[in-house]
């Protein structure tokens, strides 16, 4: 592979109605362009499908070229495309500093759960690495589920996070669980 200083990096987002073949169609276009997918996340959200990709291509290569080549595939698949050029260093994956914890929230669906929990974490400089939410249960009794991974800054332990979220647990009438996640070395 070409050294990173001789490559252009882009964050590519594709969103649209879910259907089979989206990942194959977008990745085929990138492959034909000679792009490398360095990092990615894909998910179905309600009836929508979302992809976020960090891609690279040997220089010279422009955002305009990338957009022109991806647009036909996106149009064919009914997807909306967004591209951002990454500055030098932004393409580097940053390993989380501090302990990683998993926080789970379960409770009756209501506005503000994500905001209230994440703002309490942000106030303590707890960085969110991954967050997923979904509605389960029935139309009569919907249950909101939020799962997130976060890194704890130095000096913060899971018990501190539990104490931080205790008032929200009572106020929002939700269950909140916190546990340390031990990373697996490959």
pLDDT at 129: 92
Low-confidence ranges of the chain (pLDDT < 70): 1-5, 95-96, 182-186
pLDDT at 118: 97
pTM, to two decimals? 0.77
The segment(s) of the chain belonging to CATH 3.30.70.260 are: 4-86, 99-181
Give me the architecture of the 4-86 domain, per CATH: 2-Layer Sandwich (3.30)
| Count of CB atoms situated within 10 Å of the CB of 75 | 11
Q: Which class is 99-181 in CATH?
A: alpha beta
pLDDT at 183: 64
CB 126 within 8 Å of CB 153: yes
Identify the burial level of 27 via C-beta atoms within 10 angstroms of its C-beta, where 0-12 means exposed, 13-18 middle and 19 or more buried.
middle
Q: Rounded distance, CA 120 to CA 143, Å?
A: 21
pLDDT at 90: 75
pLDDT tens digit string along 132-164? Answer: 999 998 888 889 999 999 999 988 888 899 899
């Amino acid at each position: 592979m070409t050294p990173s200083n001789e490559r252009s990096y882009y964050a590519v987002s594709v969103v649209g109605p879910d259907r089979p073949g989206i990942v194959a169609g977008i990745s085929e276009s990138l492959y034909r362009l000679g792009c490398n997918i360095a990092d990615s996340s894909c998910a179905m959200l309600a009836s929508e499908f979302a992809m976020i990709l960090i891609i690279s291509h040997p220089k010279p290569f422009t955002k305009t070229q990338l957009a022109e080549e991806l647009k036909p595939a996106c149009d064919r698949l009914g997807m909306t495309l967004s591209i951002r050029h990454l500055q030098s260093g932004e393409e580097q994956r940053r390993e989380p500093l501090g302990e990683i914890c998993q926080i789970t929230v379960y409770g009756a669906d209501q506005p503000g759960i994500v905001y209230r929990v994440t703002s309490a974490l942000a106030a303590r400089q707890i960085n969110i690495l991954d967050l997923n939410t979904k509605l389960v249960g029935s139309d009569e009794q919907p249950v909101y589920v939020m799962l997130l991974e976060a890194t704890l800054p130095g000096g913060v332990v899971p018990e501190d996070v539990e104490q931080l979220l205790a008032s929200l647990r009572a106020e929002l009438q939700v269950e909140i669980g916190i546990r340390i996640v031990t990373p697996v070395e490959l």
